[in-house]
Amino acid sequence: MEKIEVVTLEDNKEYGIMDTLEIDGIPYLFLQEMPFKEDCEVVIRKLDTNSDIILGLDSEEEYLKALEAYVKKSEENIDSH
């Protein structure tokens, strides 16, 4: 079983990094609240490329852009199997 990297966000909750995706040169993290449950929270954050600090997203548009890219990647992975 693959070890999942865990980070603590500003809400003092731990999140497992489920996936990363680079969009327009910015790395985005797709995180799921720990411990994993059926109804646990999933959040999207980005990395400051200069310091590796985890940042919140700037707008609803950025959130939707990242979410759309993640869904597209997931669909491509499903189609390839």
Strands 54-55 and 42-47, sheet pairing: antiparallel
Residue 1 pLDDT > 60: no
Q: Is 1 among the domain residues?
A: no
Residue 16 pLDDT > 80: yes
Classified as helix, coil or strand, 56 is coil
User: The pTM is what?
Assistant: 0.83
Give the count of domains, the chain: 1
Domain that includes residue 16, residue range: 6-79
Q: Is 47 among the domain residues?
A: yes
In the DSSP assignment, the letter for residue 37 is -
Q: Is 75 among the domain residues?
A: yes
Please tell me the predicted confidence (pLDDT) of residue 81. Answer: 58
